[in-house]
């Protein structure tokens, strides 16, 4: 599918290339600049367009300005030689601020999924005046070293005392075998990725194979380098801070999480909510570690409610 076909097929907004912190970041804004801004921050190895167009539309219809963007090493943003230019979660958080600056946004509602939730939490700690509200979605507490926990699990070791549980065993096995070759064609790429998305989706809600194939095709066709996102794993928890830092968060906080999340079991959400003063925990029945279109209404409604005047 060619670039102009993608533009016709998918929701498009005010696209920009943001140059900051030594990288170029693709970003896209929607809605009235006079409305409160919601910055959508995606997870590790994920592109900004993996925030479903349906969620974006619902937020805009709810009188929100919405911005989504590609992290460095994903989508149309810069790829980085991690060996010579390593970066941390703190650097990814600085990228998010640079995107807000490029759109002239002083304060925003932050909604972060998975790693994006950790990035949003860090900003709520380090740049509190810029954060109107915080929504941590399918994520875990700031400072959690999942990479080390995964490495221990793969070696058959038990979690350390007090350590949050690693991903479920079947997902751990898939994570080591379901990334395609760098030169994979589209069909090979889709064939390799589909089993992983089934596991991430969870076994309760119906799995729409066509939906995930369309999303992965979009990812494939937008990416400068499909393997570059693995650098997010190398960044690990470095620069994120500690869970104790969350006690200083003043922004109204919503923790949204699926009951069937195989990547971060629900105890991760419980720990996040317990660490942030006054945080509200909402568990979504049947949701795994993905954002299926069937949940667009529910997720957008939760975000709109949380970012309304009653909570902001």
- Confirm whether 127 is a catalytic residue: no
Question: What is the C-alpha separation between 83 and 176, in angstroms, rounded?
Answer: 21
Distances (CA, A) of 307 to 53, 115, 175: 19, 21, 34
Of 71, 109, 268, 289, which one is the catalytic site residue? Answer: 289
Phi/psi at 101 (5° precision): -60, -40
- Confirm whether 114 is a catalytic residue: yes
Residue 255, SS3 per DSSP: strand
DSSP structural state of residue 79? P
Of 71, 77, 261, 268, which one is the catalytic site residue? Answer: 261
Of 77, 114, 136, 240, which one is the catalytic site residue? Answer: 114
Place of tokens 């490029």: 102
Q: Is 108 left (phi over 0), alpha (psi -120 to 50) or beta?
A: beta
Contact 139, 112 (CB under 8 A): yes
- Confirm whether 294 is a catalytic residue: no
In 3D space, the residue among 81, 120, 80 whose CA is nearest the CA of residue 97 turns out to be: 120
**Among all residues, which ones are annotated catalytic?**
114, 261, 289
């Amino acid at each position: 599918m060619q670039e102009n076909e993608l533009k016709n097929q998918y929701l498009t907004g005010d696209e920009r290339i943001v140059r900051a912190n030594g990288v170029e970041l693709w970003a896209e804004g929607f809605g009235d600049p006079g409305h409160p801004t919601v910055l959508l921050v995606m997870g590790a190895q994920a592109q900004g367009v993996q925030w479903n167009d349906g969620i974006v539309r619902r937020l805009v219809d709810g009188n929100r300005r919405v911005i989504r963007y590609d992290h460095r090493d994903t989508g149309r943003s810069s790829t980085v030689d991690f060996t010579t230019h390593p970066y941390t979660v703190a650097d990814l958080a600085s990228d998010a601020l640079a995107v807000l600056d490029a759109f002239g946004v002083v304060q925003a509602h932050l909604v972060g999924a998975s790693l994006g939730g950790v990035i949003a939490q860090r900003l709520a700690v380090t740049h509190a005046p810029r954060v109107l509200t915080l929504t941590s979605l399918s994520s875990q507490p700031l400072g959690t070293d999942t990479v080390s926990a995964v490495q221990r699990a793969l070696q058959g070791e038990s979690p350390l005392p007090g350590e949050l549980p690693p991903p479920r065993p079947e997902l751990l096995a898939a994570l080591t075998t379901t990334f395609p070759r760098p030169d994979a064609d589209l069909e090979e790429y889709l064939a390799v990725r589909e089993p992983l998305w089934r596991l991430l989706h969870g076994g309760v809600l119906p799995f729409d194979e066509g939906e995930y194939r369309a999303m992965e095709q979009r990812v494939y066709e937008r990416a400068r380098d499909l393997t570059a996102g693995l650098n997010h794993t190398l960044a690990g928890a470095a620069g994120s801070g500690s869970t104790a830092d969350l006690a200083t968060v003043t922004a109204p906080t919503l923790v949204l999480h699926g009951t069937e999340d195989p990547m971060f079991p629900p105890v991760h959400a419980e720990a996040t909510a317990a660490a942030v003063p006054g945080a509200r925990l909402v568990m979504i029945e049947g949701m795994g570690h993905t954002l299926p279109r069937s949940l667009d209404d529910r997720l957008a409604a939760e975000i709109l409610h949380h970012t309304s005047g009653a909570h902001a």
